[in-house]
Structure 1
Amino acid sequence: MADTKRIPFGSKNFREIRLIAREICNFFVDKNLDALLVACNTTNACALDILQDNLKIPCFDLINSVSEIVDKQIIGVLATQTTVRSSYYKNAINSKKENTIIFQQECPEFVSEIEKEKLNLDKLNSLSDLYLRPLINKNIEELILGCSHYPLIYDFLRKKLDSNIKIIDPSVALIKKFNESFTIPKTACYEGLSYENVEFFVTSEKDVFFKKVKIWFEINKEIRLVNLRSNI
């Protein structure tokens, strides 16, 4: 489920995110889910409790998953404004690893640039310098990509950092945690790579989303349009 009608989430306030989360719960409530993977850091930071309390199934989230695998002392986090201001990353990491120093950087323009069909490399270059410089100056040892859009420019960011700074994609930690909880035979995993058992739902511009998914992930699947408010 991608709520394309109301993106970007990263600039919305806490209350708005929680209202949207309740609507997402209403959509999923009759889908017989065994688990939910929360693929948006901002929703994770502001409304994980709503998803857990309403769906009453295991909810695997990005922030708590990645907080379990950081192993350095000085951590940088690139994220949206709302995620940074929630302090969820700081609280989650500090609860699992003592004496960790965490520096967060808001990246308000990244998502809109990454969403473009053709990347403006000059603009991305200047934005990357702007957002990374404060963290580099703090001598970070690990960098967490705290928005699910940012791994799409991983290679771009990698070139901006010293090789000794590890870049962490929280989705890798999330999938690892999910796989540890739900044992799936290898044969089933390989069959799943066909995406025949995957359904995509969006709330607007399904043709645009279809094109992006095909470009980004080489997935060619029907995209279904839904209305979260009325659940149709």
Structure 2
Amino acid sequence: MIGIFDSGIGGLTTVRALMDTMPGYDIIYYGDTARTPYGTKSRQTVIGYALENTEFLLQKGAKIIVIACNTASSHAVDEIKKRYDVPIFEVITPAVHAAIKASKTGKIGVIGTRATISSRIYEQKIMELKPDAKVYSEPCPLLVSLVEEGWTKRPETTMIVKKYLQPLKTKQIDTLILGCTHYPLLKDTISKKIGGQTAIIDSGSAVSGAISSFLSENRELAESLPQNGKIDFYVSDVTEQFEKTAGAIVKKQIKLICVKK
């Protein structure tokens, strides 16, 4: 199985992308909804959570791990790779490659949690590949909670998105990385407020493409993965709103299984 974890239910945007890109592959998802958001936590705390989540997925039979959380990707990927001998994918690198390819002016914006933005991981990776790029980053700490609450269409959310994006709009960026897997649920609002000419890079879609390419090159592993179309959804806490939002993301009714760790 392909194992995916996130700080909450936003990582289901990555599940949805994998369902579209690689239909049929069995997936196990874990959303740490009891401890969301990760973006306000310390680096060491995030690493601890990420290791626990990885262990859970491996115990459930995952042969590939996808860190569908930008905060965990920026802080914990090296530690996870040190401890576990399985293919590990994070959502940052594929999004960086997609953004560089999409940008015509080299002016790239990034939005994410405070932890992701303060890590400067996107800026570092972009500058390694394109030293002449101009990278502008803005933390958007309220957006994860708004998505988790299902407030994607509320006027209050639109006003907050507009305020967060204004500094990037004045920089005349031509490409914007959604540096959090919750943010694609606000993609329409973000696109309108940043400007329709700005390319929007969804990290979930980018990583699904990277996994698909990897499996094309590693046929033995690909053939060992079950392809029964089975998807299990686990969370560390569940509410009626979580289930409603989760169903909207994957575009079908689902049952969230609550597990306590």
> Under a length normalisation based on structure 1, what TM-score does the superposition of the two structures give?
0.87
> Would you say how many aligned residue pairs link Structure 1 and Structure 2?
221
Q: Does the 8 Å CA contact 1:206/1:224 hold for their aligned counterparts? A: no
Point out the more displaced range, 209-218 or 18-27: 209-218
Aligned ranges for residues 43-122 of structure 1 at < 5 Å? 43-69=72-98, 70-71=100-101, 72=103, 73-119=106-152, 121-122=154-155
Q: Distance in 2 between matches of 1:217 and 1:22?
A: 25
- Establish whether residue 138 from structure 1 lines up as the match of residue 199 from structure 2: no
- Give percent identity, aligned residues only: 27
Offset of residue 141 of structure 1 = 1.2
Q: Does the 8 Å CA contact 1:29/1:55 hold for their aligned counterparts? A: no
1:39 aligned partner: 68
1:212 to 216, 231, 245: 245
Q: Distance in 1 between matches of 2:255 and 2:192?
A: 35
Higher relative contact order (Cα pairs below 8 Å, separated by 6+ residues): 2
Please list every run of at least 4 consecutive aligned residues from structure 1 whose deviation after the TM superposition is greater than 6 angstroms: none
- Establish whether residue 151 from structure 1 lines up as the match of residue 184 from structure 2: yes
CA RMSD of superposed structures (Å): 2.1
Q: Distance in 2 between matches of 1:216 and 1:29?
A: 24
Q: Distance in 2 between matches of 1:136 and 1:118?
A: 23
1:18 to 47, 51, 57: 47
2:24 aligned partner: none
Unpaired stretches in structure 1, ≥5 consecutive residues: none
Q: Does the 8 Å CA contact 1:21/1:50 hold for their aligned counterparts? A: no
Look up the equivalent residue of 1:41 and give its one-letter code.
Answer: N
Q: Distance in 2 between matches of 1:127 and 1:207?
A: 25
Q: Does the 8 Å CA contact 1:63/1:170 hold for their aligned counterparts? A: yes
Offset of residue 114 of structure 1 = 1.8
Unpaired stretches in structure 2, ≥5 consecutive residues: 1-29
1:2 to 6, 26, 31: 31
Look up the equivalent residue of 1:59 and give its one-letter code.
Answer: I
1:165 aligned partner: 198
Change in 2 beyond 3 A, CA 1:120/1:222: closer
